[in-house]
Structure 1
């Protein structure tokens, strides 16, 4: 396929987020051709995907057959781990003991899922211990009907995976269920942490399988016959089949795609990237054109995994953050988040005049009410999700509908405030109220929803009392300006927390210090400090143009908000490259013997140079096959050698060698 053919080819990028599904059509020659958003439909993901994709195909007037590659990023795996979702699995531990379950959070991750211990595994040099899978074989007929898949972890499987492979083949033969082996996911030592990563991967297989199947089904119906790629947590692309087998690698896929998209849109190799959504702000650092990766493995849902992913810091701050008052001060300040509310402007845009009527009624009341400007409505999840509610919670939930109701009419007592908070945390109910998005509608910085509802919400918020019993603000414009300023200040602080932490400092404590706070406020004194950041700030997200120029001004740093910032994730999904890596390890069990351990290949040599030559050629073949499986036909392969040796009495003594092969290339596109 010629370079000109690739340049003209149209690519479809998708980002399936928790709230919105974004779609973008792009080509190397024309850049962004069309873009659209649709609400993510969790009960059937293909509905949200079709809403966004059909809109851009119609806008761009392209034929489905013209699309040569489809690539997507997703936060579904991340959200599932955070929310504790996933299938029931069985863990097979080979050569480990009960005590190992207490390490790396493995016991917490397993919960009530079954675990089977069998003898076996290897030592650090890849030598086998006595292996016996008979107890597992007896348990398999019973387990087959109880679990959705298996996770297998053997002692030192990264040195020799033969026992994991033997158990994998046995489980496949007897159950036909999906199996994840730890050596397929990581080459790093630390068995319990590897087992944890394998457990989480096995849990996610069914969920990512549903996403891929929904996407493939939709593409097939629309006549789009093109390879489907998925963004990994380190920003690289892999084929959908590859991601189906290793779904754990898609955690932080969405943030990684946004970084790739930001670099593509700006051409910057070194930058701070801050992505503001409705609920959260994600901040990361771009170094030499690549996102910084977390050296200890990605942490999601409280579990530290062995997955290489972007070093992303997430803060509960967004355009839809709850606005509340800091009641501990005589002159209260504004606090934002971490809870998300449905903005009043959006609520009125979706539900019409009834919202306006209730807000107007509350504004006309002589005295301000504690529940003014607040509404609740059902989220619309299936009814079985409401199981296990207390009597009071169930009665309150029964009175609610998918139409919003004002809390001052819905709640009969103060105790029900706690009940509604629990319904929100269960994902059964949405709360609506005044947010920074509403403040921006009042100030004329946003006009996409209902500005009248936003203004009523600001009037009600301004009437709240401070410690001396005075109204918090005199006008809706004043409360809106203070809310906007609070979001700018907090956004500046989260950027600083991230960069201080990346420099090895305690980010939160450093930002809270009096000197840094004075510098942010521009307050002078005999002594003070001036903040300096060595690279520009890139603002991403649909609301970034509203906030981030002011954030850049407060930090004294150049701020860039790209034109297509609202679809950075979907764009990052199509402009990325396929990249995979494998490791080989060479040890010296006895002097004069060099043992190569490269995946499933274990071989001994008398000479060091012969062992390195074998390791390199084996790795090259293995990584080439893996790159083809991951979705590129012409991989570029590099091999890095890390050889450890010591000099004793003027003689060189070999200790160990690690070889890392990386293959990268353009994703395969349809002819």
Structure 2
């Protein structure tokens, strides 16, 4: 049984094939295309030709994609969303879409309604649901929206009302209407949880196109017997069916794949990971074999959310970053890049724009393209640029360290050729011949996960019972995402007491992982 992994980045689309022992059979790096699917087709075609593998022997195919992130940033392909907040009159002072950029609000229709419902912080009902009010609202939206986001006050404690409203919505608008429930999408905090839920609903059309496009690309290459998975942003996989329910979980999966791939290549569980692409450098932290999760609310396309995201620092430095000399003699690097057009515009490929790759070639760090073409670059200019690159990486890596001690660094990505051999604060830099496709490898070797988070009151429900409840629900999610039942194991249990709440209130989060079914 062979596995195919694809990772679509802003500059390159990478593909790898792994055998039964998870050894790399072949890897390729192709340019990302405007329509994405063509780039995926090209990558699959190239890796099959290079490996000479029979497509029928590929039984699992994984895709990591930036499509959902791009859709939010570019405001393209998003669904029209109707937002139902269960919290009248307690939450009317801050309406949905507060502090959202106006262009994305307009793209999503901007329709919302704060209705009766919600819970107190102790799980008691705030107000009862008013189904007549709900029906009137839904009928007024009919034909104007494509999906529904339901957000209940303190649904992290009790999500019963959200579930009831979801059933009612389907009765009024039909079973095909996609619905997002905030208790299953976001974490604590009404507004940020609401924002994440709205974005999840906005991405239903996008993720459907991604999953069907990937399926068609595989079929075109005669890969018809493979189970298909999409990458989540915690370094694990989910089935396409599960992804179409929770498309927001694909956001941030690219850097996460690189971290997981780096861990696999270096055989390390704890280290810093630096992934240098064509446009950006992404820095993450490998903790016990998985990416460290961000502890703060993340902003996606100008919208602050609180759904699970990897702790990633990105800077505008890549192999295609443009290098310039300013009027005062200083040298700047990026943040703009020639991106996937590097083979047209970089000096070493016959272009007329100086990039960081040209600097690396000029300084004898690597041989790429026609090395004679960089003779026109002044050596002092190149040395100044290199110092800027070195300082940018040193500063960024220092920001991700948790102590002043030196740490190990795993260097991956197609733009890794521009990195210095030594970096201040780093004890050892680990590199691999397959580092340029670490993201695709990360997609291919990933497991399937399940995660559940809820607030419990230990004075009302015993701690052991609460933990068991969270564990069972996390396992249920893993099974829905495509995990093999007997292989599932708990990898993380987090308990955070909430001092401001009564009855020994504690936030519990459980994460499990398992092998692909």
Query: Which TM-score band (shorter chain)?
Result: 0.7 to 0.9
Q: Taking structure 1 as reference, are residues 644 and 259 closer, same or farther at Cα in structure 2, changes over 3 Å only? A: closer
Aligned to 1:467: none
**Matching of residues 385-534 of structure 1 within 5 Å:** 433-451=353-371, 454-455=374-375, 458=377, 476-499=378-401, 502-503=402-403, 533-534=405-406
Aligned to 2:448: 578
Secondary structure of the corresponding residue to residue 100 of structure 1: coil
Return the alpha-carbon distance in structure 2 between the equivalents of residues 162 and 68 of structure 1. Answer: 39
Return the alpha-carbon distance in structure 2 between the equivalents of residues 161 and 615 of structure 1. Answer: 16
Aligned to 2:433: 563
Aligned to 2:170: 172
Superposition RMSD on alpha carbons, in Å? 3.0
Secondary structure of the corresponding residue to residue 95 of structure 1: strand
Conserved? CA contact 1:123–1:155, under 8 Å: yes
Return the alpha-carbon distance in structure 2 between the equivalents of residues 641 and 200 of structure 1. Answer: 26
Conserved? CA contact 2:460–2:503, under 8 Å: no
Secondary structure of the corresponding residue to residue 337 of structure 1: strand
Return the alpha-carbon distance in structure 2 between the equivalents of residues 595 and 150 of structure 1. Answer: 33
Q: In the TM superposition, what is the alpha-carbon distance from 1:104 to its structure 2 partner?
A: 6.8
**How far does the alpha carbon of each residue in 1:292-343 deviate from its partner, in whole angstroms, 9 at most, with x for none?**
211124332333322222111011111222222343x4xx221111112369
Aligned to 2:74: 83
Return the alpha-carbon distance in structure 2 between the equivalents of residues 576 and 269 of structure 1. Answer: 14
**How far does the alpha carbon of each residue in 1:71-124 deviate from its partner, in whole angstroms, 9 at most, with x for none?**
122222223333344332111111143322278745766455111121111222
Aligned to 1:339: 336
Q: Taking structure 1 as reference, are residues 30 and 447 closer, same or farther at Cα in structure 2, changes over 3 Å only? A: same
Secondary structure of the corresponding residue to residue 419 of structure 2: helix
Q: In the TM superposition, what is the alpha-carbon distance from 1:659 to its structure 2 partner?
A: 4.6
Secondary structure of the corresponding residue to residue 407 of structure 2: coil
Conserved? CA contact 2:409–2:426, under 8 Å: no
Q: Taking structure 1 as reference, are residues 83 and 533 closer, same or farther at Cα in structure 2, changes over 3 Å only? A: farther
Gaps of 5+ in 2: none
Q: Is 1:124 paired with 2:116?
A: no
Q: Taking structure 1 as reference, are residues 113 and 42 closer, same or farther at Cα in structure 2, changes over 3 Å only? A: farther
Aligned to 1:383: none
Conserved? CA contact 2:233–2:253, under 8 Å: yes
Q: In the TM superposition, what is the alpha-carbon distance from 1:451 to its structure 2 partner?
A: 4.8
Return the alpha-carbon distance in structure 2 between the equivalents of residues 586 and 440 of structure 1. Answer: 55
Aligned to 2:209: 210
**How far does the alpha carbon of each residue in 1:178-208 deviate from its partner, in whole angstroms, 9 at most, with x for none?**
111101113x331111111101111122112
Q: In the TM superposition, what is the alpha-carbon distance from 1:479 to its structure 2 partner?
A: 2.7
Return the alpha-carbon distance in structure 1 between the equivalents of residues 240 and 471 of structure 2. Answer: 23
Conserved? CA contact 1:155–1:191, under 8 Å: yes
Aligned to 2:234: 234
Return the alpha-carbon distance in structure 1 between the equivalents of residues 265 and 493 of structure 2. Answer: 31
Conserved? CA contact 1:323–1:335, under 8 Å: yes
Q: Taking structure 1 as reference, are residues 131 and 336 closer, same or farther at Cα in structure 2, changes over 3 Å only? A: same
Gaps of 5+ in 1: 1-8, 357-372, 374-432, 459-475, 504-531, 589-593, 597-610, 647-652
Q: Is 1:55 paired with 2:46?
A: yes
Q: Taking structure 1 as reference, are residues 435 and 644 closer, same or farther at Cα in structure 2, changes over 3 Å only? A: closer
Aligned to 2:93: 99
Aligned to 1:27: 19
Q: Displaced runs of 4+ in structure 1, greater than 6 A?
A: 643-646
Q: Is 1:656 paired with 2:505?
A: yes
Aligned to 1:529: none
Q: In the TM superposition, what is the alpha-carbon distance from 1:492 to its structure 2 partner?
A: 2.3
Conserved? CA contact 2:478–2:512, under 8 Å: yes
TM-score, normalising length from structure 2? 0.88
Aligned to 1:625: 476
Q: In the TM superposition, what is the alpha-carbon distance from 1:126 to its structure 2 partner?
A: 2.5
Return the alpha-carbon distance in structure 2 between the equivalents of residues 616 and 564 of structure 1. Answer: 40
Q: Taking structure 1 as reference, are residues 314 and 661 closer, same or farther at Cα in structure 2, changes over 3 Å only? A: closer
Larger Rg: 1
Aligned to 1:321: 321
Return the alpha-carbon distance in structure 1 between the equivalents of residues 341 and 455 of structure 2. Answer: 59
Aligned to 1:255: 255
Secondary structure of the corresponding residue to residue 392 of structure 2: helix
Aligned residues: 503
Return the alpha-carbon distance in structure 2 between the equivalents of residues 568 and 641 of structure 1. Answer: 29
Conserved? CA contact 1:345–1:451, under 8 Å: no
Secondary structure of the corresponding residue to residue 224 of structure 1: coil
Conserved? CA contact 1:291–1:311, under 8 Å: yes
Return the alpha-carbon distance in structure 1 between the equivalents of residues 493 and 323 of structure 2. Answer: 51
The more displaced of 656-665 and 289-298 is 656-665
Q: In the TM superposition, what is the alpha-carbon distance from 1:658 to its structure 2 partner?
A: 4.9
Q: In the TM superposition, what is the alpha-carbon distance from 1:212 to its structure 2 partner?
A: 1.0
